[in-house]
Structure 1
Amino acid sequence: MPFFARLLFFFGLAWVLGQAETVMAQTVTSKAEADIVLGPNSFALSDYYTISFRLRGAPLERYSAFPDLEGFKKSGKLSTTTTRIVNGRTSVELTITQRYAAYDEGEYVVKPFSITVNGQTVRSTGATLTVGPQAPAPAPLVGSNPLQGVGSLDQLFGKPKPQDYVEPKDNAFLLLLPDKTSVYVGEGVHVGLYFYLAPSDQGLLDFHNFPEQLPAILRQLRQRTAWEEPFDEQEILPENVTMGGKPYLRYRLYEAVFYPLNTTPLMFPEVSLQMVKYRLAKKPTEGLDNRLEGYKTYHTNVRLIAVRPLPPHPLRDQVPVGDYRLREAVDRTLFRTGQAFKYTFTIEGEGNLAALNGPGLIARPNLEAYGPDIQQELTRQNGRVGGRKSFVYRLVAQRPGTLPLDSLFQLIVFNPTTAHYDTLRSELKPEVKGPVRTASSFGLHPDDTFYAEAIASADATLQPLDEYRDVRRYANLVLLVLLGVASFGWWLGKKK
């Protein structure tokens, strides 16, 4: 093939690859889907009604507020992340759930509403709810924001008359609160950023451009030596709490669980939050607001969390840390030689499940093992991150007899609560029947039609490792030639 023909060929190939990559990127973007899930229509007064939205195919960037329901009060949110890894392909589904507490029994109508998720509007037709009798529930908290301002004087009445103002002393503070002072490597520590306000100071303070202040605060709280699992919270609502025997309104500004990766201490620096604080007129005038808007900055204390190394163990650097339990299952009750069966090894509990790897598969003669396919569900609620992570294997026994799975699947974990190492080991021992086999009847998963066709038509010819590097080199040469031709044409045109 002539040299220039090869150049044109590789240039065309590079263009086609670029177009294919663009189409794939557009395809991935177009797969983002969101929908709304409503809770049961009938429930007891002591139970919660729930409205959830599910997002698949894209990370959560932003979402609008959940609707306010007449006769109900919002009572906290929780988020659940479900990750599935099947044949190397990963899919993630995020569910954000808003809970509602009913004030009284009776029938209620949820009017049609919509929620905007990542710029996509998702609609619901609503529902009719029936709240049945139950034991009296505690009096619900007031759902409105007590820090809502009433507007500036200039907006309401024009420029105010000259007055003398005083700045009352407030009983408010900003607090960064970890739930532990020391942890093991890999053990989670919950950290929350809260603003506390005395009920009597509700009219003195208001939030000031909080969405603009939050990114700088989060950058200061990031830890380079820890894995962070943040909580998905966008609405800032007051909670009635007691501290030091005094009542406060607490606003949850940010919370996350950090898992240290090494023994470097976690150091949270001082962070600041600017609030609007009103000064009050010495001599209030009827018909005026009698307040003058000002600003006050609140600061947190520096927090240092010590990180302890794990006790001595041969696999200390590879052992997952958490309060875990084992759940296992098989997909059949009769086992035959040469036939595949599914075995599921599920880890449940509280810990850094996202970084947890499956049990190391111990080789065993006359047994074929495939997988695992992985599915993960994370739930963030009440300051805790937990859930489950499942590893699905396909096994094929070639010889009859007892198949002790405890010798195949085991996972050593460290429990920070007891400060001991535990081994999660299978307890199943299926009895395999049938003649000795030399080849299994195991084939591709029936749902894997893509791989069945792709493998059947795949080209087994070896390709050079530097193939794409050569394409890039030839494409650059073509661009240089085209640039030279364009420059020469420009020079000729200018000369004429």
Structure 2
Amino acid sequence: MRSFELIDKMSGMGFLLRFGCCLLGLLLLAGAALRAQPAGQAEADIVLGSPTVAISEYYTISFRLRGAPLEKYSAFPDLEGFKKSGKSSTTTTRITGGQTSTELTITQRYAAYAEGEYAVKPFTMTINGLSVRSAGGTVKVGPQPATPATPAPTGPLQGVGLLDQLFGKPKPQEYVELQDKAFLALVPDKTSIFVGEGVHVGLYFYLTPADQGLLNFYDLTRQLPEIIKNLRQPTVWEEAFNEQEILPETVLAGGKPYLRYRLYEAELYPLNAQPLTFPAVALQMIKYRVAKKPAEGLDNRLEGYKTYLTQPRTIAVKPLPPHPLRDQVPVGEYRLRETIDRTAFRTGEAFRYGFVVEGEGNLASLVGPAVASSPTLEVYGPEVEQNLTRQGGRVGGSKQFSYRLVARQPSVLPLDTLFSLVVFNPALARYDTLRAELHPRIGGPAQRASTFDSLPGDAFYQDVLNSADNTLHPLNEYKDVRRYANMVLAALLALAAFGWWRARRQSPK
């Protein structure tokens, strides 16, 4: 029995030595990897748009940034034959294991002056200090969709223009300014809201179909940033909609059809009870005066300018009703969805539980339930993932809080007493509680697996290792094992030397 304990100790010492060598190797590799690539390093690349576009479409150049928030970036390149025409942005955010991953895409649109094939020369952009290079390419700008050709005028009137050129310039045209029915409006979807409740605000330009030939946008890239700056509120959380092309949509205003152009829209969530005050903002448009007596072969329009103003608006903000957690309660129309990764549960086994909040509201400020570990339950997390959708003037989505749970005793796990979230529903003007409804039943302990794999080909080790004593021993016990091993080796060496000496002495000479 003593010899077996000695072998068991020597096996344990060998295992620890091998484990220590492996651990040291892993630490060295991890250190080398950390030196080779700094943590949190940003990554960026450039994406070119379609190589074939119509004259009425936009060509695009985008850059994608991952691993860091956007701090600054250099200007997009100027393309020969194109004019810059606004930008758009898209953001995706994930939080896993306490680590946040974000991908931001910024897109620059270009409008072509004329048809043809153009070269996009190689260029370099600096994004958060990173130098990113594009090899460039080519862009083929094709014609716009064909429209029916207007037949050329016939008859003796064709010679009038030639006679005017021969015998003198025609008389100057007289222009008149026609009355238009266009207007600029700031439109909120609510006139009174609670603190934390979202209000959609849109800046629109309306004009009748008959006014299309009289009006045109003027220098929006300069005017819009100043207008938006004047509309921003200092006491709100703003979820701006992704920048879109300014395209007309047909709507009814006052029972009459209008073409509406969306210039700016956002969802605003007030942080306190201070009213939201929007001043009047101005937009300058190109307005054409038309010829009193149109002449064939001439434009018959004279370019001018007209300024349109919005009406100032104020949105009242009401405080939330009294509640012990009023300053911490999320506001929105929320519902709860639960997820769990298994159907059978045992003590000592980890399982994943998801507390998913869905609906409309300020998901960015929503914090998941705080659950502390106890002697009967270990709680890890949460990991957070947020999906936000901005569409049709509404902002909504889901936010998932994933927890890892380990139960320490058999029972029915009361998740409803652990996971709950108090919210305020502004549509009903009352507080609600989102509470877990799952009650997993925890069974007895799972069968403990052997630390060492049995050797099916060796019955001795298969029986002995499974029944070996796993009592903890002092760390300095292995010094005694080494001393005993050295003594045994020395005795065997001495015995071998003595046997060799006797054999040599007894051998005949």
- Report the TM-score when normalising by structure 1: 0.62
- The answer to whether the aligner puts 1:332 opposite 2:342 as a matched pair is yes
Change in CA separation of 1:304 and 1:221 when aligned onto 2, cut-off 3 Å: same
Report SS of the residue matched to 1:315.
coil
- Are 1:80 and 1:378, in contact at CA under 8 Å, matched by a contact in 2? no
2:197 is aligned to 187
SS at match of 2:225: helix
1:21-420 matches, cutoff 5 A = 24=38, 28-29=41-42, 31-32=43-44, 55=64, 57=66, 81-93=91-103, 162-420=172-430
Instruction: Note the residue ranges of structure 2 that are not aligned, 5 or more in a row.
Output: 1-33, 51-61, 78-87, 108-122, 137-144, 148-164, 452-509
Q: 2-side partners of 1:345 and 1:397: how far apart?
A: 18
Instruction: Give 1:387 shift.
Output: 0.3
Alpha-carbon deviations, 1:411-447, whole Å to 9, x = none?
A: 000011111111001011111122499xxx9xxxxxx
- Deviation (angstroms), 1:399: 1.1
- Of 440, 460, 463, which aligns to 1:430? 440
Query: Which ranges in structure 1 are unaligned for 5 or more consecutive residues?
Result: 1-19, 39-52, 65-77, 98-115, 124-141, 145-156, 442-496
Quote the Cα distance in structure 2 between the aligned partners of 1:188 and 1:313: 20
Whole-angstrom distance in 1 between the partners of 2:386 and 2:171: 63
TM-score (norm: length of structure 2)? 0.61
Q: Which has the higher contact order (CA 8 A, sep 6+)?
A: 1
Deviation at 1:79, TM superposition (A): 8.8
Distance 1:411 1:37 in 2: 45
Query: Equivalent residue of 2:428, what SS?
Result: coil
* Residue 198 of structure 1, CA deviation: 0.7
Give matches, 1:7-22, under 5 Å. none
Q: What letter matches 2:427 in structure 1?
A: T
DSSP-derived class of the 2:224 partner: helix
Query: 1: CA distance between counterparts of 2:248 and 2:332?
Result: 32
Residues 215-239 of structure 1 show CA distances to partners (whole Å, capped at 9, x for unaligned) of 1011111111000000012311000
Deviation of 1:360 (Å): 2.2
Secondary structure in 2 matching 1:358 = coil
TM superposition shift of 1:364: 3.7
1:125-164 deviations in Å (ceiling 9; x for gaps):
xxxxxxxxxxxxxxxxx9x9xxxxxxxxxxxx9x997332
Per-residue Cα deviation, 1:243-262 (whole angstroms, up to 9, x for no partner):
11111100001100000000
CA shift, 1:369, in A, is 0.7
Q: Could you tell me whether the CA contact under 8 Å between 1:81 and 1:377 is conserved in 2?
A: no
| Larger CA Rg, structure 1 vs 2 | 2
Number of matched pairs: 344
Distance 1:122 1:358 in 2: 46
3-state SS, counterpart of residue 369 of structure 2: coil
Give the whole-Å Cα distance in 2 for the aligned partners of 1:221 and 1:303: 10
Partners of 2:45 and 2:444 lie apart in 1 by 47
Q: Residues 20-55 of structure 1, C-alpha deviation per residue, up to 9 Å, x if partnerless?
A: 99x859x734x23577999xxxxxxxxxxxxxx995
Structure 1 segment 414-493 matched on structure 2, within 5 A: 414-435=424-445
Q: Secondary structure at the match of 1:316?
A: coil
Q: Distance in 2 between matches of 1:341 and 1:94?
A: 33
RMSD: 4.0
Q: Tell me, what secondary structure is at the counterpart of 2:226? A: helix
